[in-house]
A and B are shown apart, each in its own frame.
Chain A
């Protein structure tokens, strides 16, 4: 059979093959060990060299051509089979994805990190102190002697004192201010620290809980003034509340541990229950502050003739409520799942200044 005929026969057989097994039969018939082309290859040995060279080349071309046709056909058949299979592989993709738990960060924790980020930028580090405090740290060192009326107004929780222990009872710290004393005693001056943490007062009603959170701020140096305090708080509020315009009002007040003392109000509006900072004609008290009293500096071993500076104390829960529109303080400590999910923050929502505090 001449090669042209042979070619025509096999190319047609390849085209006709309906499935992979038919195609395999064609391959065996052509290129298998006992196939026609293989048989013709076997005859080459008997030819003289010139004849062999010409016939061999032609046979190889034919062999390659049939092989290519077989492969192309095989790929085509596989595609068709796959298409057929895919038709049956339908899933309802509107089914829910596999459940993955969504954790949250409590607003108090989030706001503490926000505070830390802002004050860190202004050169403050973070100090800590115990929550059970001696009355010396909580009161005396802060210029609140035992019979000072301010002590009564603190609604203090006292720890039990054993009958054979003559020391005055320890207290649950009523403010974060004792950390001022501890930090100054440990580090001396100059110093810039904030001290966020839990504080306790015997008060429970619509707007008070017996435990809440405060952040203390303390900056002592040779020439820090109340004007620096105002700047520092203005900058803080602008950064924290994420509004360009913030207006603070410094109101003279009294705290035994600062002198002069000021309570600070922030301008806000309340439109339909939504609070907006920096506009409107209402003022809300957000913190107490002042220049650290010389007696307080002295109690912490810092020479008041050489050093001066400011301190402030701010309610963390309160500014969290203000910033995020959380209405009820008591709910902060209930652990209601709905509340935690609604007001909580994602694990990776890490507040920082380059990326912005809130998302």
Chain B
């Protein structure tokens, strides 16, 4: 919402400075977004008088002038043809910045004669394009500020434009008068009266109006208008044009400019039809059947849909009700008979139509927020008067159908509640005065909101009005008491605590945590098991962001590819965040994903660099699981999703419960995402890691044996496809009391191994630690356990002890 200071002062009698007004606006909730003050750049200039002017000794076209200024007589060399004795001029002194020529003046010497400043033309001060001579003012005193002179004589040129952001609850502030009312309530002046003229219609309106019964209840409860015959349309007066231009509107013609003036001045959108173009003498307000074509004033043709509100004559649709008039019946300079419309439209219907047709007009903006239903007829009369004043003509009686809706309602004002909610001691008398100033009527403790405030719908709204007018800036903070005595308890839920643990662990493992978008492109979503319609965003902002991500990996792979394109080939990226399995609330779960690409380390003198592999990812997955308190004994299966390398990836689970997946990313995915080099990853499903069963911080007792443990190594020859975990578990099962641990310490595979041990074979080596419980083990006892281990492993793997 834009307006100018002088426009505001039409409604507000105030002595307040511009700064005070701006401060109050923002503080009242009418946030000032921008102020354009044309006076600012003219501030240094003062009036002066030319005492005499003589020919420059060395230049035909220059004159040397003696000028009386506020600082005494000065000599100024001037090239303007009208520079002569006796005229009042605008003086720019050395040191002043002259906007039109973009120069800061100094004391100059022009052809050997000193010049102390200049006398400005209109163009040099950016007042107009006039540059035939210097400004000659018809009045004004030496030393007077030029801006003051302009304010008195040409106020439009120095009228500050104020742009405020109006929240959707305040349609009344979409008119200058509503803003003036707020300022008056704040104490920044008096709201001037707005007398509604009595229009004596000389004849019955030749255009009748008729609201379709379907719309009378909801849609268009009240439609009014009148004809003004014999108007002369043409450019509107300068002051009106200047105001419209100042707020960014293009003056069109007096009739159209008047409707805009009412839209912005009084939040009363109007429409003018050229009555000569209305066919059949009846304007019908009716729901569209659907399919009607309509050429609007913006030059575009719209196809109406079933139920949209239209105003039609015998020839068809002439106006899209409350949103935009039609080109066909619009007023032009040749219009002589005008039908002026003032109506009340249902906000919801207007909003739906405007949205469907994507028309943004000042009328729609106001009607969908709610104009004053009681101001339909006064607005019509006020506008009629303005047309009569500016365009002449004779008015008809009013033609109308329906009646203003009754919005009367009252809410109890509880002054104590105001104090308790706001925490500010506002005396009851002040509360009542505020509401009265805003147009509320008070009857005992019941407050009836004014008709222009559709947003006031309860007691809490009264509190808000009182508080904002009193100024929330004055609010003094008051400590919030603690809810419990003593040391606060932890507040994170177990899952929140785990999310934090996972994040910190992953960063400690060397990953750079990313936050990537929750939505990804369809191809990426499909590659990771998503992309269904249920997770599709109906109105995506780009084709890269069409589907909720089923997994965190695609986002990280895209980030990795971007980094590789910038020359960073080795990456450790991670994200801890939601992935989506469906489109219902709650179809999301927390993933912690790490992605390693390229080499494990930079090149260095120690040969640390090697390509990342599955076991890097596995180690990191295990570290995260351990940090989350997952049990040590887990199952590893190969039932991985299709975006993992089928032979080089695994699932860490507990029975059917999948806790994590790790492995190489499928080469086809890497190609699709344009990743160079090897890439391995892990995903931990944080919520699937079971909570520790023990809830106490107490640790179990530590049992340490004084007896020395014994390590025994075993090597087995097994088929290539045998998984070493089978051997480890078999060995562990050989003696559950004596065997403390089994570790894999070597494997020998490949061509050389097969040459030695036979085709399709490999060797694995285990070290088994035996911890005696009662007494030191004898050699015979050790031999017995070893035999059992060998036997178990052979049985489980089908292998042999390596000789």
Partner-B contacts on A (CB < 8 A): 95-96, 98-106, 108-109, 113, 116, 120-126, 128-134, 137, 147-150, 152-153, 157-162, 169-170, 172, 190, 192, 198, 200, 202-204, 210-211, 219, 223-228, 230-232, 234, 249-254, 256, 259-263, 291, 293-295, 308, 332-338, 340-341, 344, 346-348, 350
Contacts and interface: CB of A to CB of B under 8 A. Distances in A.
A170 B584 contact: yes
Interface residues of B, number: 106
Interface stretch (B146-154, B480-488, B766-774): B480-488
Nearest to B455: A254
Given A159-B583, A260-B422, A224 B31 contact: no
B803 interface: no
16 contacts: A95-B605, A98-B604, A106-B515, A120-B488, A126-B492, A132-B548, A159-B536, A170-B585, A227-B476, A231-B480, A251-B27, A291-B422, A335-B514, A335-B562, A335-B563, A347-B505
A99 B601 CA distance: 6
A253 B477 contact: no
A333 B520 CA distance: 12
Interface in B490-520: 491-493, 496, 500, 503-519
B140 interface: no
A250 B472 contact: yes
Contacts of B548: 132
Nearest to A182: B585
Contacts of B562: 334-336
Interface string B419-463: 011111000000000000000000000000000000100111101
B584 A132 contact: yes
B530 interface: no
Q: State the 5 A-B residue pairs at the shortest beta-carbon distance, nearest first.
A: A101-B510, A227-B423, A335-B559, A225-B423, A231-B477
Contacts, number: 278
Contacts of B568: 337-338
B480 A219 contact: yes
B168 A254 contact: yes
A230 B585 CA distance: 33
B430 to A, nearest CB: 15
Given A105-B504, A335-B516, A226 B541 contact: no
Interface string B513-544: 11111110000000000000111111111100
A250 B556 contact: no
A152 B538 CA distance: 16
B776 to A, nearest CB: 37
A106 B513 contact: yes
Given A125-B491, A249-B473, A340 B478 contact: no
A344 B472 contact: no
B133 interface: no
Nearest to B457: A295
Contacts of A162: 533-534
Given A106-B515, A259-B463, A223 B420 contact: yes
Contacts of B488: 120-121, 123
A160 B584 CA distance: 11
Given A147-B351, A228-B478, A160 B538 contact: yes
Contacts of A98: 604, 606, 608
A225 B422 contact: yes
B464 interface: yes
Contact of B168 (A95, A121, A134, A150): A150
A227 B583 contact: no
B29 interface: yes
Nearest to A335: B559
A158 to B, nearest CB: 4
B496 A232 contact: no
B139 interface: no
Interface in B531-590: 533-542, 545, 548, 555-556, 558-560, 562-563, 566, 568, 571-574, 576-578, 580, 583-588
Given A147-B351, A335-B556, A105 B491 contact: no
A217 to B, nearest CB: 11
A203 B540 CA distance: 10
A158 B421 contact: no
Given A250-B473, A253-B31, A335-B563, A108 B422 contact: no
B26 interface: yes
A123 to B, nearest CB: 4
Contact of B475 (A123, A129, A130, A227): A227
A152 B352 CA distance: 11
B472 A260 contact: yes
A137 B585 contact: yes
B477 A227 contact: yes
Given A294-B458, A308-B420, A158 B537 contact: yes
A218 B82 CA distance: 72
Contacts of B540: 157
Contacts of B587: 130, 132
A87 to B, nearest CB: 23
A211 B575 CA distance: 15
Contacts of B49: none
Contacts of A103: 506-513, 572, 574
B370 to A, nearest CB: 9
B572 A101 contact: yes
B257 interface: no
A231 B479 CA distance: 6
A153 B168 contact: yes
B518 A334 contact: no
B517 A333 contact: yes
Contact of B424 (A106, A121, A227, A259): A227
B475 to A, nearest CB: 5
A148 to B, nearest CB: 7
Nearest to B348: A147
A219 B568 CA distance: 47
Contact of A254 (B169, B500, B538): B169
A303 to B, nearest CB: 14
Contact of A147 (B352, B421, B563): B352
A344 B512 contact: yes
Contacts of B170: 254
Contact of A252 (B28, B355, B515, B572): B28
B175 interface: no
Contacts of B475: 226-227, 230, 250
Contacts of B605: 95-96
A124 B488 CA distance: 10
A204 B477 contact: no
Nearest to A134: B585
Contacts of B508: 103, 347-348
Contacts of A106: 513-515
B507 A347 contact: yes
A210 B517 CA distance: 8
Contacts of B480: 122-123, 219, 224, 228, 231-232
Contacts of A294: 458-460
B420 A350 contact: no
